[in-house]
Structure 1
Amino acid sequence: MPEEKAGVPKTRWTRLKDEWGRRLEPGEQAVVIAWSSFTATFAGVRALTHWIRDGHGPSGGGISLNGKHFHHYNIGIGLLAAIGAVAVRGEERHRRHPVTAIAYGSALALIVDELALLMDLKDVYWAREGRTSVDAAVIVVASGGTFVAGLPFWPHARRVLRS
C-alpha cells in the first residue's frame, strides 16, 4: 500500500522520485542522467542520420552553412565549452543540475558519433566497414554505463514500480 500524506496516497511517480533522492547523492544522480542523455542522444542521432541518408529530410543531408556541411560534433564542442564554463565558474548547484548533466551527455554523444571524422580528419562517417557494429557497441556501452551508474537505485525503482 502506498504511503499516505494528509490522507492522499503517493503515486508511483512520487515514490520513484523519493527513492531517487534517497538512494543516489546529487553527483550520482548527475552521472546517471548524463549516461542516459548520452545513450538517448547517440541512438537518436544515429537514427536521424540513417533516416536522412535514406533520402528523407533536408536535401543534401543535414545542416549546411554557406554550401558546406555542418557536422554535429561542432554543436557538441559548443555544448562542452558551455559545460566547462559552468564547471569553472558556475555555482555548485549548477554543476550537478540535471540540465547540466543532460547537456554534458548529449554533447559527448554528438562528438563520439563523429569521432572517426575527427580522428582521421576526413569524412569516413558512412564507410560500410564496421559502422553498424560500432553503432551497436557504443549503444551497448552507453546503456551499460547508465545501468552501472544507477546500481544503488535500480532495485528500489523496480520495487516501487511493481507496487
Structure 2
Amino acid sequence: MTPHQGASAPNEGSDPAESGRSTTVRSRRTGWQRLLPGITPERRGLVLAWWGFTVTFGGMRLLTWLIHIDMAGVGDVQAGGVHLHHYVWGILLLALVGAVGLVHRSARTRAWTGLAYGVGLALVVDEAALLISLEDVYWDTRGGISIALALALIAVAGSVLAFTRGRRDTQGRARRGTGTRTP
C-alpha cells in the first residue's frame, strides 16, 4: 500500500458512519445522534445537561418576569393556597434523574437524563437566593445571587465542555483506530 492510499482509505473495521461514506448507516442514527453529530454518547448527556440548564434558566426568567408584570395571562402555581416555587419541581426532577441513573445506563437514557438533569438543576439554581435567605427575594436585589450563580455555571460548564472536547475526541478516535495516523 502506498502512503497516498493509506491516507485516503478508511481503516479496516472502521465505522462507516465515522467516515460519512454510508447513507444506510447514517439513516439509522437516533434522534440525538442526528441532533448532535460528532458528540460521543459519553459526552452527549453532559452537552444536553448544559443546554437544558441554559434554556430552562432563560425560559424561567422570562416566564417569571411575564408573571411578575402580569402580562403572561398565567399566575403562580399553587396548592391549597400555598405558592409552589419552581425549585420544588426541580428537586423532584433531580430525584427522578438520580433514580433512573441508578437503574439505566444506556446511551439513550444517559442523553435523556442529562437533559432532565440540566432542566431540574436550572429550576433549583434559579431560586438559590430564596433557598439561601429563606425569604422570597426573587425580584429583590438579593435575588441577583441566583442570576450570578446560574451565569457562572453556564460559563464554567460551557468552557469545560468546549476546552475538553478536542482532547477527548482525538483520544477516543485513536483508541478505536479510526483517526488519521501520524508518522
8 Å CA contact 1:33–1:101 kept in 2: the answer is yes
- Structure 1 residue 149, shift from structure 2 partner: 1.2
AA aligned opposite 1:135: I
Q: How many percent identity over aligned positions?
A: 37
Q: Normalized against structure 2, the TM-score is what?
A: 0.63
Aligned residues: 143
Mapped pair 1:117 → 2:130: yes
The answer on 1:66 being equivalent to 2:80 is: yes
Structure 1 unaligned segments of length 5 or more: list them: 157-163
Alpha carbons 2:125, 2:146 under 8 Å: kept: no
Question: How far did residue 38 of structure 1 move?
Answer: 0.7
Partner of 1:31: 46
User: Alignment partner of 1:57: what SS?
Assistant: coil
Moved more, 118-127 or 134-143: 134-143
Instruction: List, as ranges, runs of 4+ consecutive aligned residues in structure 1 with deviation greater than 6 Å.
Output: none
Shift in alpha-carbon separation, 1:78–1:143, aligned structure 2, 3 A: same
Partner residue in 1 for 2:38: 19
CA distance in 1, matches of 2:35, 2:100: 29
Say if 2:69 is the partner of 1:54: yes
> In the alignment, is residue 148 of structure 1 matched against residue 167 of structure 2?
no
| Higher relative contact order, chain-length normalized (CA < 8 Å, sep 6+) | 1
Matches of 1:121 and 1:130, distance apart in 2: 11
Secondary structure of the equivalent of 1:149?
A: helix
Cα distance change on mapping 1:18 and 1:80 into 2, 3 Å: closer
Give the CA deviation at 1:147.
3.9
Distance (Å, rounded) in 1 between the aligned partners of 2:65 and 2:134: 21
User: CA RMSD for the aligned pairs?
Assistant: 3.3
Q: Give ranges in structure 2 of 5+ residues lacking alignment.
A: 1-19, 28-32, 170-183
Cα deviation, residue 128, structure 1:
2.7
Hey, what's the Cα distance between the residues in 2 that align with 1:148 and 1:54? Answer: 36
CA distance in 1, matches of 2:64, 2:150: 16
| Counterpart for residue 151 of structure 2 | 139
Secondary structure of 2:106 counterpart: helix
Residue 161 of structure 1 corresponds to which residue in structure 2?
Answer: none
The structure that has the greater radius of gyration is 2
CA distance in structure 2 between the aligned counterparts of 1:4 and 1:122, rounded to whole angstroms = 58
Secondary structure in 1 matching 2:116: helix
CA deviation map 1:23-78 (0-9, x unaligned): xxx2222111111111111111011111111112346x421222221111110011
Counterparts of 1:121 and 1:31, CA distance in 2: 31
Residue 93 (structure 2) aligned to one of 67, 74, 79 = 79
